[in-house]
Structure 1
Amino acid sequence: MLFHLMSGVSVCLSVVFFTGFLALCCWYKRPKNFPPGPRGVPFLGVIPFLGNYPARVMQKWSRKYGPVMSVRMGSRDLVVLNNHENIQKALVMQGQIFSGRPNMPALTQVTDGLGLATIDYTDHWKTQRRFGQTTLRGFGVGKRSMEDRIVEEVEYLNNAIRSHNGKPFDILGILGNAVSNNTCSVVMGRRFDYDNERFKKIIATLSGLFTNPKSNSTIILVLFMPFLMKIPPFSWINNKRVDGINEIKRLLREIVHEHELRFDKDDVRDFMDAFIAEQKKNDKHSSFTDLQLLQYVRDLFVAGTETTTSTLRWSILCLIHNPEKQEKLRKEIYKVTGQDRVPAMSDKAQMPYTCAFMQEVFRYRTLVPLSLFHATNDDVSLNGYRIPKGTTVLPNLWAVHNDPDVWDEPSKFKPERHLDEKGNFVQSKHVIPFSVGPRQCLGEQLARMEIFIFLVSMVQKFEFLPDPNEPNLPEIENGSCGTVFVPFRFKQIAKMK
């Protein structure tokens, strides 16, 4: 009897061992001629090894596996592009194939598969992208009329900064208000006072979504292991993220409803009105639906506010950490605009150091380190490898901006690297903060205009200094990193000039 019992145990152990062996073989198996790369551990892949800054880790791995490599995250095989050359080959030269978006339940949970930023490369996306480009341009984005709106906001911004009377304060809310007002003027046809309660609530909720390190680290997990959305504590953090986004949508829905009630086909005032007009002249099967409008507005508002606000906050940190560069920037501004005239986009041609400073901020603190995830729409070859249809692709913009083969001492903030020997500004094709190709950021022109005018006007009027109550300068090497890499919260002094 003991013999039979031992035999049964041996058979069970053999089955368990063999099953485990097969599972490991399946785990480590890659598609044929797929890029090499780390596999990590079963079920999790490389996720436990990514730390707080996945793009930096992937750049290090690329030194071993090459500029086009693969990683396993959860149950997905992803391809990571770690240099400018291969990002260009993929997103530009084969842009239609590499312009899909992966299906991720954690994103669909808040977008309903609508909007613009995260939807797949389909006829629906093409229609909505074309409408967005035409409509935003029609309401002044990239034109002088948009510049006038930004210049108008400068006075409100500077007055809000002055109200702190040289005492330490966190500029996050003020910048968020100023930046989002430019988006609101195009999308909603109005600006909001900085003390408007509904507006303040939207900005505070939006800031909380991106500046919370715990929430940002969790989003990577739930993106690639969606079952965690139902398992505490991940579910609690994810639900809080979803609640925040839903709150923004609820407040935006009220504004959409107000537009619908006041709509006049003979007086199309803004993006919302243009969408409603398009909706009314299309049949009921068109992609211009009420929910699409809400998600589109959410995309424009969230992306247009957070990215530019965070870039300006990184700029202020660079000013605080580099007072000699802040003074050099101010001298150039005074030379061109004096101390009183509001800057204009036409001044850029006479401000090479200012342009160099901005380009270095874009490079030094890459705002979206892994861009927005792409997906292949067909089988494709890249760098000698075969990438199957439906593969998630991560363009590592951080690696491009910190490539030691391109940049001398990439970890240092050096605006001078973007000037030639005569002091002229040199535009670099290796600085691509808004990505490239068909999915390039829709709001790039507006963002560049806002950053230039707001930055120049603030440096013209204020000297930014560290909070004297803090023993150390605010953190600049690191930040809160999820989809977007944003500064930790900090206070500074704005001393009037």
Structure 2
Amino acid sequence: MYIIVICLVVTLLLLLEKLRGNISNNFPPGSKGFPYFGSFPFMQTHLERTLARWGWERYGSVFYFTTGGKRKVVLNTYEALREGFLKNSESLSSRCFTNHATESILFADYSSKWERQRQLRLLVLKCLKDCNVEELVLQECQTLCQHLKILPQTTMAAGTEMANHITLPTFNIISFLFWGKRLRNDKDDSKIIRQLTYPVYNTRPFSFWKLDQNHNLLRIKTIRRKIRSWKITEEIFSRLSNIDKNASDKCYTHENLENYILDLFIAGTDALATTLHWALVLLAANPLYQTKLQDEIDKVIGNNTSPSMQCLDLMPNTRATLQEVFRVRPVFPLSIPHKAINNVIIGKHAIPKGTTVVANLWAIQNDPTVWNEPEKFCPDRHLDDNGRFVKSDKVIPFSLGPRYCLGSQLSIMHQFLFLTSLLQKFNFELAKDKGTPNLSGSSTIVLAPVDIKLKIKHRQM
């Protein structure tokens, strides 16, 4: 009896799959997989790397895989990404979330209202520049260095997970800008930090960006109440009100400002801290590059002077290192899914309206036809024969098109000032008490270094 039931269920699933499977002949090639389970039974832990190999070895620059009975198109090369997110930006800049818990710009559909709301983000960032963000970042750098200096010697010698030390200073940069205060590692503040840095998305493996709505709706309502009590700069809202006063629908409201601050806390803190964490781990694993960087820091900045963004252009090795960290370990290896709001042609392939499209940033930045030994951490690849830094258009950790990350400049400032401040004072080494750690990282939505301890040593000046 059970065998008959199983056979009937399997037959029904196959029939449904066949009915669903009628698509255009010009649709990209790809992996149909099993009924309901789709392509996931063939995938390994790192989704972005599995998809990258499928593109390189089987399907080409544009292909699909299947999850939950739906085909998702992957843009696996830089050329496909440019054609999709730049040339066809208006058709591929929507989102596939229909009922999200926040009105976050991260998940909102592309529209004229969305474009106006994005101007709000640009204006807020402009106002932040007037707040001397560099000085604030340097204060947090100094606080972090002081914190590391007083760690127990046993902790420094045995190794510690740097994520435990760099998340709070990163969080406090955004906190001070909007709240006017820094948080501490006490009981009350730790609860707020956990709430504000908890991602909106469900990061369990293979969830593929499904929102955990019931859990996060309550969390976000709690956060929003807290934000309303903060000292949000009235200058920002005053500017917004003047711009919005003649509009029929009001985009620049306190609620939308709160949404953007929420975006900054949720996405900003995690992305900034994770990138810095990767930089320290990769330099610890490649001590020759760490020494090379420290020599440049000593020459340009010195031992007792605080770093400054004015030094950045004078430090090609540091710029090359930052670009290589962005390249080899993008924090978001797969873009947040886009949705086609019109029929689109990419290359020779037809993408129907309603199709989910993702950019495989990891594949683009590790493409063996572009990068020699792409898995190797090699900042020198970004220097020319005269030792000058060469900016690469194909290192795109902030994506392309209308939905590219507006916080790219803040990210570069954060990485430069924190990294140079730390390497000015300390050496970092991999703790190998349990063997050489796995540097592949853990990949759900964010690609992060996990269970990697670093030994910290004071530099001999």
Q: Establish whether TM, by shorter chain, passes 0.5.
A: yes
Q: Which amino acid aligns with 1:55?
A: E
Contact 2:196–2:265 (CA under 8 A) maintained in structure 1? no
Q: Which position in structure 1 is the counterpart of 2:381?
A: 417
Residue in 2 aligned with 1:201? 191
1:18-167 residue pairs with structure 2 within 5 A?
Answer: 22-62=15-55, 63-103=57-97, 105=99, 108=100, 110-111=101-102, 114-140=103-129, 145-166=132-153, 167=155
The alpha carbon displacement at 1:347 in A equals 0.9
Offset of residue 209 of structure 1: 5.4
Query: Do the aligned partners of residues 290 and 422 (structure 1) sit closer, same or farther apart at CA in structure 2, a change above 3 Å counting?
Result: closer
Following superposition, the deviation at residue 123 of structure 1 comes to 2.6
Range with greater deviation from structure 2 (291-300 or 417-426):
291-300
Letter in 2 for 1:254: K
Deviation string, structure 1 residues 301-325 (Cα, Å, up to 9, x no partner): 1111000100011111112211121
Change (3 A) 1:39 1:467: same
2:440 match: 477
Listed one character per residue, the Cα deviations across residues 446-468 of structure 1 (whole Å, up to 9, x for unaligned) are 11111111111101111112347
Structure 1 position 80, deviation (Å): 0.6
Aligned to 1:436: 400
TM-score, normalised with respect to structure 2: 0.88
For 1:82-120, what per-residue CA distance to the aligned partner results, in whole angstroms no more than 9, with x for missing partners?
Answer: 000110111112222211111255xx1x32xx0211111
Alignment correspondent of 1:376: 340
State the identity %. Answer: 32
**2:171 pairs with 1:170:** no
| Unaligned stretches of 5+ residues in structure 1 | 1-11, 227-237
Distance 1:248 1:161, change over 3 A: farther
- Residue 148 of structure 1, CA deviation: 2.0
| Corresponding position of 2:453 | 491
Instruction: Tell me the secondary structure at the aligned position of residue 331 of structure 2.
Output: coil
1:216 is paired with a residue whose SS is coil
In the alignment, the residues of structure 1 paired with residue 24 and residue 253 of structure 2 have an alpha-carbon distance, to the nearest angstrom, of 40
The amino acid across from 1:325 in the alignment is Y
How many angstroms apart in 2 are the aligned matches of 1:69 and 1:407?
22
Q: CA deviation at 1:440?
A: 0.4
CA distance in 2, matches of 1:274, 1:489: 46
Name 1:219's counterpart in structure 2. 207
Cα distance change, pair 412–390 in 1 and its aligned pair in 2 (3 A): same
Task: Please tell me whether the aligned partners of residues 203 and 445 of structure 2 are also in contact (alpha carbons under 8 angstroms).
Answer: no
Q: What is the CA–CA distance in structure 2 between the aligned matches of 1:204 and 1:173, rounded to whole Å?
A: 12
User: CA 1:176–1:155 in structure 2 vs 1: closer, same or farther (change >3 Å)?
Assistant: same
CA distance in 1, matches of 2:313, 2:98: 43
**1:179 and 2:170 correspond:** yes
Q: In the superposition, relative to structure 1, how do residues 496 and 208 fare at CA in structure 2: closer, same or farther (>3 Å)?
A: farther
Higher helix fraction: Structure 1 or Structure 2?
A: 1
**1:392 corresponds to:** 356
* Conservation of the 8 A alpha-carbon contact between 2:227 and 2:258: no
1: CA distance between counterparts of 2:126 and 2:279? 27
Indicate conservation of the 8 Å contact 2:91/2:344, yes or no. Answer: yes
Distance 2:44 2:9 in 1: 33
In structure 1, the partner of 2:180 is 190
Who is 1:350 aligned against?
314
Aligned to 1:232: none
SS in 2 for 1:217: coil
Indicate conservation of the 8 Å contact 1:466/1:492, yes or no. yes
Query: For residues 182 and 282 of structure 1, what CA distance do their matches in structure 2 show?
Result: 34
Q: Secondary structure at the match of 1:173?
A: helix
CA RMSD of aligned residues (A): 3.2
Matches within 5 A, 1:201-350: 201-205=191-195, 215-220=203-208, 223=210, 238=212, 243=215, 246-247=218-219, 249-259=221-231, 268=234, 273=237, 286-288=250-252, 291-350=255-314
* 1:292 shift after superposition: 3.7
- One-letter code of the match for 1:446? L
**Kept in 1: contact 2:328–2:365 (CA 8 A):** yes
CA contact (8 A) 1:158 1:458 kept: yes
User: Distance in 1 between the 2:403 and 2:430 partners?
Assistant: 38
CA distance in 2 between partners of 1:473 and 1:18 (Å)? 48
Higher mean displacement: 403-412 or 67-76: 67-76
Q: Is the 8 A contact 1:47 1:74 kept in 2?
A: no
Q: Which moved further from structure 2: 417-426 or 193-202?
A: 193-202
Alpha carbons of structure 1 residues 474 and 206: separation in structure 2 relative to 1, 3 Å: farther
* Higher mean C-alpha displacement, 354-363 vs 377-386: 377-386
Distance 1:47 1:386 in 2: 24
Deviation at residue 32 of structure 1 after TM alignment: 4.4
Structure 2 distance, partners of 1:251, 1:18, is 48
Label 1:196 to 1:422 Cα distance change in 2 as closer, same or farther (>3 A): same
Q: Which amino acid aligns with 1:123?
A: S
Q: Distance in 2 between matches of 1:347 and 1:176?
A: 25
Please state how far the C-alpha of 1:217 moved relative to its aligned partner.
0.4
Aligned length: 451
Matched to 2:454, the amino acid is: Q
Give, in whole Å, the separation in 2 of the partners of 1:412 and 1:279. Answer: 49
> Contact 1:205 / 1:244 at 8 angstroms: preserved in 2?
no
Which residue identity is paired with 1:478?
A: G
Partner in structure 2 of residue 229 of structure 1: none
What SS does structure 1 have at the residue aligned with 2:52?
helix
What is the identity, as a one-letter code, of the residue corresponding to 2:128?
F
TM-superposition CA deviations, 1:408-436 (whole Å, max 9, x none): 01111111111111111111111000001
Separation in 2 of the partners of 1:448 and 1:429?
Answer: 15
CA spacing shift, 1:249–1:448, aligned 2, 3 Å: farther
For residues 489 and 275 of structure 1, what CA distance do their matches in structure 2 show? 46
Q: Is the 8 A contact 1:329 1:354 kept in 2?
A: yes
1:458 corresponds to 2:422: yes
**Superposed displacement of residue 490, structure 1:** 3.3
SS of the residue corresponding to residue 96 of structure 2 reads coil
CA deviations on 1:244-283 (whole Å, 9 max, x unpaired) are 6743652452232344xxx8xxx726x5x55996799689
Decide whether the 8 Å contact of 1:370 with 1:398 is kept in 2.
Answer: yes
Contact 2:199–2:267 (8 Å) recurs in 1: no
